[in-house]
Structure 1
Amino acid sequence: MEIRQLKTFWTLASTRSFSRTAESLNYVPSTVTMQIKALEEELGVKLLDRLGKTVVLTDAGHQLLPYANKILNDIEEAKQVSSQSGEVSGTIVIGADEVICTYRLPALLRLFRERYPHVRLLFRPLSSHNLKQSLREGKADVVFMLDEPAESIDLHTERLLDEPFLMVVSPDHPLASRSALSIKDFHGEHILLSEKGCSYRLYFYRTLLKKGADSLTELEFNSAEAIKQCAMMGLGIALLPEMVIKGEVERGELIALPWDLSEVRFTTQLLWHQDKWISPSLRSFIEMAKLLLC
């Protein structure tokens, strides 16, 4: 078993594409195929299936992945320890959901790039329900997510910033001028929702449906920006993090409804695997994220 084979396997598991793996490793596609075939022959198992243009790991592939990730991490650690340059370098793979990516990360990524120009940052936009799994499968070094505070056995969580939420409508919406609301006021309203699996979508159901609201018409979006724009156009009621709509509310383009959201406990969080080796570059990134976002 060769290190390059494990690196090819890990990259293929991340990209799910032979062509993207070849491009990432500066190989021709046939080299990727040969290395994976040699690894499968040595282990005596099939590691992946090709389903059209998509690569899917087999059970054996899923079992091998964390070991490959650990071996590659150990090798990276050895390189960092043996380096005499004293210069922080390496690669950091970052995952985040759409909201964090758009409204929290740009300033952090710019500052980190300016301070550590020899560190390569690879960003993977992921849906909320895939973020933790990306750490467990070794596809990301760290992830940012907006969620309710929670503990995990295998993942380390740093809570960075509390994120207040607002329920908003356009200025000409029938509820915009109300000084108080009851659950009956939501009956028959159009609700602008984020994708299924999103934590604050679930909260919307807890605050409205469980309190007796009915006859709600749902409009589902995979982008907080799309929800905001549709709310401004008067298409319905949106529940969004304040960071997404702060400017629009201050300019009067959206109106915050007088609805009690004191039960909302969502935070921007930084996560990494408990078994992950924290390289100097990754440690520097984590420290800067905590300093800038806390």
Structure 2
Amino acid sequence: MEIRQLKTFWTLASTRSFSRTAESLNYVPSTVTMQIKALEEELGVKLLDRLGKTVVLTDAGYQFLPYANKILNDIEEARHVSSQSGELTGTVIIGADEVLCTYRLPALLRLFRERYPRVRLLFRPLSSHNLKQSLREGQADVVFMLDEPAVSVDLHTELLLDEPFHMVVSPDHPLASRSTLSIEDFHGEHVLLSEKGCSYRNYFYRTLLKKGADSLTELEFNSAEAIKQCAMTGLGIALLPEMVIKGEVERGELIVLPWDLSEIRFATQMLWHQEKWISPSFRGFIEMARSVLSH
């Protein structure tokens, strides 16, 4: 049994794709097939089935995966201990939505680079609806999402920080001076929305459209920064995280509307696949993320 065979099996179990595994490990697909076949012959069991283009672990494959994960983790730790410098090395692939990429992650990435200069950080900005899939397909080690708390059967989800949201308008907007609002006040208004599939876009619909607002004009953007700038010019009503608008609200450039948003909870969350091999460099990143982002 060879280490490279275990790494290939573990990667294939994460990506569920021979082609993506080959690309990740810089192999040709036939090499992946050969290594898995050799591992199965040595173990005397079938570890996976190919169903069309999808790879499915057999019962034996599921039972063997934790052992492969432990062996690979022990090897990585041994390499770390035996290295002369004792510094963490390796690669961590990170994904995040646009808001967290802009407002939460820069401080974390800078501090991690300063403390662990030999660890290579690869960052992939992804749309909200692609983040979880990137973990399931092995395209990212860890992702950060701004979303409602949820439980997943195959992904480890860790809540780091609650994120308040506000509806905001420019100071000269007709609703800016109102001390109270009813759903009728939103009739005919322009609303500035994030991309389809975004959790807080869906919440906007729940709080306005489903409560009876009608004749709304929707303007869609793929950037929270663009939504904020358009709201500041008086183009319409925006629903944005407090971290995005805090400075503008303090300076009076945006006005928070008196609309109750307490019924829903959003949070910055960190996710990785439950079968993910936690290397020392990955563990170091997780621990630092908890420290930097949880307060």
TM-score normalized by the length of structure 1:
0.80
Matched, 1:77 2:73: yes
Amino acid at match of 1:194: S
Question: For 1:4-43, what aligned pairs fall within 5 Å after superposition?
Answer: 35-36=28-29
Amino acid at match of 1:62: T
> Structure 1 residues 128, 59: closer, same or farther in 2, change over 3 A?
farther
Match of 1:141 in 2: 141
Measure, in 2, the Cα distance between the counterparts of 1:214 and 1:14.
50
Displacement of 1:227 after TM fit?
Answer: 0.5
Match of 2:167 in 1: 167
Measure, in 1, the Cα distance between the counterparts of 2:196 and 2:51.
27
Amino acid at match of 2:76: Q
Matched residue SS, 1:63: strand
> Structure 1 residues 170, 270: closer, same or farther in 2, change over 3 A?
same
Contact 2:231-2:238 within 8 A present in 1 as well = yes
Match of 1:234 in 2: 234
Question: For 1:95-114, what aligned pairs fall within 5 Å after superposition?
Answer: 95-114=95-114
Displacement of 1:142 after TM fit?
Answer: 0.8
Match of 1:63 in 2: 55
Matched, 1:126 2:126: yes
> Structure 1 residues 80, 37: closer, same or farther in 2, change over 3 A?
closer
Contact 2:98-2:125 within 8 A present in 1 as well = yes
Amino acid at match of 1:179: S
Amino acid at match of 2:29: I
Displacement of 1:87 after TM fit?
Answer: 2.2
Match of 1:216 in 2: 216
Match of 1:271 in 2: 271
Contact 2:190-2:237 within 8 A present in 1 as well = yes
Measure, in 1, the Cα distance between the counterparts of 2:109 and 2:52.
36
Match of 1:293 in 2: 293
- Cα distance per residue 1:248-289 (max 9 Å; x no partner): 111111111111111130000011111112111111111111
Measure, in 2, the Cα distance between the counterparts of 1:256 and 1:291.
30
Matched residue SS, 1:100: helix
Displacement of 1:42 after TM fit?
Answer: 9.2
Displacement of 1:77 after TM fit?
Answer: 2.8
Measure, in 2, the Cα distance between the counterparts of 1:77 and 1:60.
31
Measure, in 2, the Cα distance between the counterparts of 1:279 and 1:38.
24
Amino acid at match of 2:209: L
Displacement of 1:209 after TM fit?
Answer: 0.9
Aligned Cα RMSD in Å? 3.2
Amino acid at match of 2:73: E
Contact 2:18-2:29 within 8 A present in 1 as well = no
- Cα distance per residue 1:109-138 (max 9 Å; x no partner): 000110011111111111111111111111
Contact 2:131-2:145 within 8 A present in 1 as well = yes
- Cα distance per residue 1:212-246 (max 9 Å; x no partner): 10111110111101111111111110000000010
Contact 2:77-2:279 within 8 A present in 1 as well = no
Contact 2:97-2:145 within 8 A present in 1 as well = yes
> Structure 1 residues 152, 43: closer, same or farther in 2, change over 3 A?
closer
Matched residue SS, 1:121: strand
Identity of aligned residues (%): 72
Displacement of 1:36 after TM fit?
Answer: 2.9
Match of 1:187 in 2: 187
Measure, in 2, the Cα distance between the counterparts of 1:41 and 1:115.
40
Contact 2:191-2:237 within 8 A present in 1 as well = yes
Contact 1:194-1:222 within 8 A present in 2 as well = yes
> Structure 1 residues 220, 72: closer, same or farther in 2, change over 3 A?
farther
Instruction: Structure 1 unaligned segments of length 5 or more: list them.
Output: 26-31, 45-57
Measure, in 2, the Cα distance between the counterparts of 1:224 and 1:6.
39
Measure, in 2, the Cα distance between the counterparts of 1:118 and 1:15.
29
Measure, in 1, the Cα distance between the counterparts of 2:215 and 2:255.
23
Matched, 1:154 2:146: no
Match of 1:284 in 2: 284
> Structure 1 residues 278, 205: closer, same or farther in 2, change over 3 A?
same
TM-score normalized by the length of structure 2:
0.79
Match of 1:55 in 2: none
Displacement of 1:82 after TM fit?
Answer: 3.0
